[in-house]
Amino acid sequence: MSVFARIASKLAEDAWTLATTPVEAAREARYTVAAYRRGDISATQLLRTAVATTFAVLVVAVMLFPIYWIAMSAISASGGSIYAADGFRFVPKRTSIKPFVWVLGDLMIQPDTTIAVPFTDLSVVFDHPRIVFLDASDYGVESPSEFKRYFVNSVVVATVTVALGLSVIVPAAYALSRREFIMRRKILFGYVLFTQVGGGLGIAALIALYAIFVQAGLLNNKIALAAYYAATAVPFNTWLLKTYMDGIPVSYEEAALVDGAPPWRVVVEVILPLSAAGLATVTIFTFLAGWMEFVVAQLLLSSGNYTLPVGLFSLVEEYSIPWARFSAFALTFASPVMLVYLFAQRYIEGGLSFSGMEG
Amino acid sequence: MSTASRIADRAAEIPAVEREDVSLLLVLPGLFLFAAFMFFPMLYLIGISFTNARPANLFGGGSFLTFGEATFVGLRNYVAVLTDATFWNSVGVTWLFVATSLVGKVVLGLSIALVVTNDRVRGARFLRSLLIVPMGLPAIFTITVWRGIFSSARFGLANQLLAWLGVGTVAWLNERWAAFFAYNVTEMWLAYPFMVIITVSALQDVPDELHEAAMVDGASYLSRFFHVTLPSVKRPVLFASILTAAASFQQFLIPYVFNEGGPARLNELIIVYGYREAFQFSQYGQGAAIMLIAIAFIGAFMWLNVKKGKLADGVDEA
């Protein structure tokens, strides 16, 4: 298994651990106390464990401190600055959800939704009053952020990236896994090599990419940007899905063939369902390629079409950064990723175990 | 066996028309997409590097995939770049950054991994899960946060730490080596989850028997570390180091977000240097030449590693 697969499986495993730890910890503490009372564990042993654990917790706390610090500043009421004049505090004096309200802005559905029926002059009108989920002015926020617009842009870009990416990745992964043809090993070798040299080459070729986009009139075009992201996602994800498909026993396919299924049905009804976990993993990685990228998006898009990472960085001013708003924006932006991990975790976990035998 | 079927068998053995080669068609769309956006721009970049391209002449005349009104200048861009002291400063700073940040990353990753795999630590799995949270956050966000940490203001987090230690404030991003140090700390922090994951799984693969045998022989913790642990994790850690060194070489966002490689262009890592040359000083030709030289460097570096370290191991499993 490669480094990347290992990392991804760790991520999934760890999400699960995070969720179940409190229960486990309570059980273990009770068990330890009982053992100590019975005299199975000596005081020195207990002390050494306590010291080692405390030290480890300290190490983790130090490493995660920047994140904690920024999360605190997102909810602190001092607003504009994290540099409190009276020095650093672990918990802000006053808290406020204003920055998050500022990020989200008004969440409401205007009264009487009208949906035009396509190809006719008719339209369906739903007669309802204004539905308000969140009214920013209730919280004293006058001009909320452009988060929703950037969010829509990002969703468009990421969706196209996934659709386009999967449509070329899946057939290629299948062919590389199951068929023997000319150039097969060369292509595979090229993909693996590119994966490991990394996307830095993308930035190196940025000048040419920019020139080509300008000349083709594709500057500020979200779909073209998504196509670029899909292209960058091809090598790693093709290889990953291929590795996953390698784990599906050929005998399943042979059984289907013996039963008289044509090749396309073998793929649709045997291979794809059995690779559901691998497909989910690849979908997430492709999605993230479009969701997280900053450098290229920043160069190619202009303000109306900004995706979330570019929108986030546009909050930064030359000499000052509105920390509370900045971090509220960033945390809201990162949350869908966490949600995706949470929901797809079962699949990722299966997808990276590279077995396929349970199916 | 009849002659006809023998001939049919023979025909089937002839590899000239391998029916399975049709499967190549399944791979081609992806390959084409990849080539169109990654490989082709690279070729175009080579073309640009031999011209005096600037936005004014490159985009004139509504041309596509030609060089517009830019003219061919031969190797002039390369000569200009290679005789420029700023360029060599950038190359030097980049390799120095690769070296220092790599040492930092390996030491940090190994230390954290040793701490959270210690037998005595309760809830180690939970701690390891927490440790890799930074991976889920967008890089542009965490790097901007680190820029805030290294703010030159008295109440920047780094300066508050210094004040707590009784040292005066530092104008982090306005002094060359202070800024360079800030880059390193940030790079180490960004890379540590990756290093910890690799190192932890390598450490877990070390057989307990080895440690027990060494303990029976009376080896101290340190000698066990150097003679048992380190040799066992050497290969995976080396592998991670190569990948992460390549990432450091191509680091763009940290210098760009912190102070655009400042002060006074002293800390421009090579990709930032090429980027600014092209997009801020409009020297597309020279920018392209710089990028290509950078690619040559990284290519040579990776080629050495592929030769020495079997980097493309994944293919052999195929």
Task: Give the model confidence (pLDDT) of A39-94 as tens digits.
Answer: 777 778 788 888 888 888 899 888 888 888 888 877 776 544 455 544 556 666 66
Task: Give the C-alpha separation, A331 to A65, whole Å.
Answer: 15
**Which letter, b or e, does each residue of A120-132 get, where b requires 16 or more Cβ atoms within 10 Å of its Cβ?**
eeeeeeeeeeeee
Residue B67 lies in a domain: no
Residue B106 lies in a domain: yes
- Give yes or no for A193 touching B (CB within 8 A): yes
Helix extents (H) in B165-283: 176-204, 208-216, 221-224, 230-249, 253-259, 270-279
Closest to A225 (Cα-Cα) out of A238, A206, A239, A200? A206
Look at residue A348 in the predicted model and tell me its pLDDT. Answer: 54
Task: Give the C-alpha separation, A231 to A168, whole Å.
Answer: 9
Least confident among A196-200, A229-233, A258-262, B274-278: A196-200
Nearest CB among A56, A192, A227 relative to B118 is that of A56
Q: What is the pLDDT of residues A136-150, one digit of tens each?
A: 666 666 677 788 889
Task: Give the C-alpha separation, B218 to B224, whole Å.
Answer: 9
- Give yes or no for A21 touching B (CB within 8 A): yes
Look at residue B6 in the predicted model and tell me its pLDDT. Answer: 65
Task: Give the C-alpha separation, B52 to B270, whole Å.
Answer: 20
**Which 3 state secondary structure label does DSSP give A222?**
helix
A351 pLDDT higher than 60:
no
Q: What is the ipTM of this complex?
A: 0.82
Which H or E element spans position A7? helix A3-38
pLDDT (tens, 9 = 90+) of chain B, 318 residues, equals 455 566 566 555 554 445 667 788 888 999 999 988 888 888 889 988 998 888 777 776 666 667 777 778 888 889 988 998 999 999 999 999 999 999 999 999 999 998 888 878 877 777 877 787 787 788 888 898 898 888 877 777 788 888 888 887 788 888 889 999 999 999 999 988 888 888 888 888 888 888 888 888 888 888 888 888 888 888 888 888 888 888 888 888 899 988 888 788 888 888 899 999 888 888 888 999 999 998 888 888 877 877 776 555 544 443
Chain A residues with CB inside 8 Å of B315's CB?
185, 188-189, 192
Average pLDDT of every residue of chain A: 78
Q: Given pLDDT bands bounded at 50, 70 and 90, which one contains residue A224? A: very high
Which H or E element spans position A22? helix A3-38
Residue B152 lies in a domain: yes
Give how far Cα A224 sits from Cα of A19, A231, A251, A291, B45, Å.
39, 11, 41, 15, 19
Average pLDDT over residues A93-107: 74
**Which 3 state secondary structure label does DSSP give B45?**
helix
Q: Which of residues 89-148 of A touch B (CB under 8 A)?
A: none
Task: Give the C-alpha separation, B206 to B211, whole Å.
Answer: 9
Does A87 sit within 8 Å of B250, measured CB to CB?
no
Q: What is the pLDDT of residues A305-320, one digit of tens each?
A: 899 999 888 888 766 7
- β partners of residue A107: A134
Q: Are A79 and A98 in contact (CB under 8 A)?
A: yes
CATH of A147-352 among 3.50.30.50, 1.10.10.10, 1.10.3720.10, 1.10.1140.10 = 1.10.3720.10
Q: CA-CA-CA-CA torsion for A58, A62, A64, A65, nearest 10 degrees?
A: 120
Beta strands in A70-214 (DSSP E): 107-109, 113-116, 123-126, 131-134
Task: Give the C-alpha separation, A296 to A288, whole Å.
Answer: 14
- Joined tokens for residue B30: 């992806």
Host domain of residue B189? 76-311
**Which letter, b or e, does each residue of A58-76 get, where b requires 16 or more Cβ atoms within 10 Å of its Cβ?**
ebbeebeebbebbebbbbb
pTM of the model: 0.81
- Give yes or no for A36 touching B (CB within 8 A): no
When divided into structural domains, chain B yields a total of: 1
Does B314 sit within 8 Å of A321, measured CB to CB?
no
Look at residue B108 in the predicted model and tell me its pLDDT. Answer: 94
Average pLDDT over residues A174-197: 82
The residues spanned by each domain of chain A are: 3-75, 106-139, 147-352
Closest to A89 (Cα-Cα) out of A74, A76, A103? A76
Closest to B93 (Cα-Cα) out of B284, B265, B296, B295? B265
What CATH code is carried by the domain that includes residue B201?
Answer: 1.10.3720.10
Nearest CB among B141, B250, B279 relative to A200 is that of B250
Look at residue B184 in the predicted model and tell me its pLDDT. Answer: 94
